[in-house]
Amino acid sequence: MRLNLLDPQRSRPLTLKVRDENSFICHKRYKIKVSFYKELIDFMGFSTTAIHAGNEPDPVTGAVSVPIYQTSTYKQEALGKPTGGYEYARTQNPTRSALEKNIAALEGAKYGFAFASGMSAIDATLKLVKGGDHVILGDNTYGGTFRLFNRILRDYGVEFDLADTSNIADLEKAFKPNTKMVFVETPTNPIMTLTDLKAVSDLAHANGAKVVCDNTFMSPYFQRPIEHGVDIVVHSTTKYLNGHSDSVGGFVALNDEKDAEWIGFVQNGIGAILSPFDSFLVLRGTKTLAVRMEAHDKNGRVIANFLAEHPGVQKVYYPGLASHPQHELAKRQQSGFGGMVSFETGSIDNARKVLEGVKLCTLGESLGGVESLISHPASMTHASVPEETRAKLGITDGLVRISVGIEDVEDILEDIDQALA
Ligand SMILES: *Cc1c(COP(=O)(O)O)cnc(C)c1O
């Protein structure tokens, strides 16, 4: 039989000759069961997908790079007949559509939506629950995510409880009859605790709840949550996906058609869309995601090992270290460890000495850019987390976090060494 499959990453439909829907086709490294539409997204390797998915040459000029369609509206040929299918730029913009196809493909998802920030992407995802629903939130998620639940969603009747999602027994106890969603982040910021995505997804699904994973720290290059059973992936594209510290944005990727329809409705209905220019920047960023992530990972391992041996450092949090309690899970669930390293200096004075003593690393919030950034979670990213919760998690005043950049690793190492001296 001949099978016409609509591959969302290509404009042309794919015609395949197959025996039946259960036969396998081999393409490059991938073996694909034809009946799994979703797996067709894996047709290309990661870097090929990153460079080509959504990046079709411009149909008008042939421009290889997707243009910034800086327009708010589009000409209609006749009443109710938009020229190219576009009507108004809050609803759709070709630059944003290209990025949406691109990141969805990288996450192995059918649908993707780009938002004005990571927080607006997370907020749109939370529009899948209603007042009276209960959400289980990982007890060590990004501070802004906790704040969204604690200070905003609570007033709209969304109930939530914190749970240590790295501990399945603890998580199991948190389910209630009205639990509709489990929201996890792995590895967590800044303590680098992992959550077993497969185990959490199995448990949540058995309880009728969806699983959302914030995949900002790993990026789809090192971790593809949907492959482990997660329903919805969210990102702050501000970090690794864009990768150059020059854009704020967010993303939601998912496979469920009905939920995707609603996220798209929310994106247009509330309007927290990613601008054409930012869409262009992130689209440019993802083309080099693979090489950047490899470099972050290589440097991250060197810095983590150096810190682990340093007498001025009491503890290092990095899943790539054999001493990390979940090193085995990290090896199983991720294909790399990334560039985020946290370490305990013992006191606020020691932390200040390091944070203010660095010359190459920049003291600042955020992460995932090509340049090394150093921060103080207790007073910066996690200031909105109650002190007792911080203490329980290990986010002490002496904790320092580095987003290891892709500079020459000897220079980063020397900088941290002199600041610790
Ligand atoms: C930065 C960050 C966010 C929030 O994203 P913004 O783009 O700053 O709105 C959410 N989750 C994680 C893990 C982050 O690092």
- Taking CB atoms and a 6 Å cutoff, what residues make up the pocket around ligand 1? 117-119, 142, 144-145, 185, 189, 214, 216-217, 236, 238-239, 248, 250
Determine the distance separating the centroid of ligand 1 and the alpha carbon of 118, expressed in angstroms.
Answer: 5
Annotated catalytic residue: which of 42, 123, 196, 214?
A: 214
Determine the distance separating the centroid of ligand 1 and the alpha carbon of 91, expressed in angstroms.
Answer: 24
Active site residue 90: yes
| CA angle in degrees (0–180, nearest 5) for 136-216-135 | 10
Ligand 1 atom 4: residue of nearest CA? 118
Instruction: Pick the atom of ligand 1 nearest to 368's CA.
Output: 15
For position 384, what pLDDT does the model report? 78
**CA–CA separation, 345 vs 358, rounded Å?**
14
Which pTM was predicted? 0.90
Name the residue ranges covered by the structural domains of the chain. Answer: 91-286, 289-420
**CA–CA separation, 369 vs 409, rounded Å?**
15
Give the residue among 383, 378, 380, 376 at the shortest CA–CA distance from 395: 378
Give the residue among 275, 252, 247 at the shortest CA–CA distance from 262: 252
DSSP, residue by residue, 200-266 = HHHHHHHTT-EEEEE-TTTHHHH--GGGGT-SEEEEETTTTTT-SS----EEEEE--HHHHHHHHHH
For ligand 1, pick from 194, 216, 278, 384 the residue to mutate: most ligand atoms within 8 Å of CB.
216
Q: Which CATH superfamily is domain 289-420 in?
A: Aspartate Aminotransferase, domain 1 (3.90.1150.10)
Determine the distance separating the centroid of ligand 1 and the alpha carbon of 311, expressed in angstroms.
Answer: 32
Annotated catalytic residue: which of 96, 180, 239, 401?
A: 239
Averaged pLDDT, groups of 10, the chain, 421 residues long: 47 53 50 45 77 89 94 93 90 96 96 98 98 96 93 97 96 98 96 97 98 98 97 98 98 98 98 98 98 98 98 97 97 97 97 97 96 95 85 94 98 97 92
Active site residue 239: yes
For position 9, what pLDDT does the model report? 44
Active site residue 349: no
Sign of CA dihedral 173, 223, 38, 212: positive
| DSSP state for residue 406 in the 8-state scheme | S
In the CATH hierarchy, which fold is given to the domain comprising 91-286? Aspartate Aminotransferase; domain 2 (3.40.640)
